[in-house]
Amino acid sequence: MTVDPTTAPGERPPRDLLRGAGLFLDFDGTLVEIAPTPDEIVVSSELRRLLERLSDRLDGRVAILTGRHSAEVENLIGSVRLTIGGHHGLETRTGGRVTSEGERPEALDAVIQRLRTLERKHPGVLVEAKPLGVALHFRGAPSAEEACRTAIAEAARVSGLVIQPGKMVFELRPGGSDKGDALRRIASEPPFLGSRPLFLGDDLTDEPAFVAARALGGAGVLVGDPRPTSATYRIGSVAETLAWLDEARESA
């Protein structure tokens, strides 16, 4: 991951930044507020309408890049038809067609069972099993962070899976792809081909996509508080992000 430690952007992105752009969006913490558990997030009808309007305005050049399984996001956004890069870039879903960049690791089931012991030892810790990986959430038990960090490190050592840190979560997944790879792959195909990529995200998992967007002549927008990042611009919150997207859509 390449992050410029001197960069902590405070400048709000201009309204015309969507003009000629291909729009790439993180999900949790960017389009929806982070919830105590992944199942508790709320996708409003207003958000679905906004995504539909953005897709119409940009001629289909809207993609969601997320750590979630792409089918899960597709179910959450309902009838809105977007390109979805799931599992941090390990799969891409377009029009119901799924392209996978990895297979379910043989060691994953054993790893999941190993990590579930932390749920019993530390109430509030949550193990989220995914088709290609597993996430260990400690948002409900902040004092268990070090125990989770140690358990994930050991699980990665015995399984060969890659550790992906995030906000109050450690994730294990196969190596070989990240959100930056997903952005480059999607940006090289219609309808994104020839457009300038713009990526909005809030977490450390989004940094490779900020780097990729900038390398392709576009930009990244950090959502949330200032921090060292490869993003060029910043928006303060999910609510402000949705408002900016609606404003920028009119200028696209």
Cis amide bond preceding 9, omega within 30 = no
Of 4, 16, 26, 39, which residue is the catalytic one? 26
Euclidean distance between CA atoms 113 and 99, whole angstroms = 28
Whether 59 is a known active-site residue: answer no
Residue 33 CA to residue 40 CA, distance in Å, equals 10
Q: What string of DSSP letters covers 71-129?
A: HHHHHHHTT---EEEEGGGTEEEETTEEEES----TTHHHHHHHHHHHHHHSBTBEEEE
Q: Supply the angle between the helices 45-57 and 70-77 in degrees, to the nearest 10.
A: 100
Closest listed residue to residue 195, CA positions, set 215, 212, 218:
218
Q: Is 4 exposed, middle or buried (0-12, 13-18, 19+ CB in 10 A)?
A: middle
Please tell me whether residue 141 adopts helix, strand or coil conformation. coil
116 CB burial (10 A radius; 0-12, 13-18, 19+): middle
Q: Which helix (H) or strand (E) holds 197?
A: strand 196-201
- Catalytic residues, by residue number, are 26
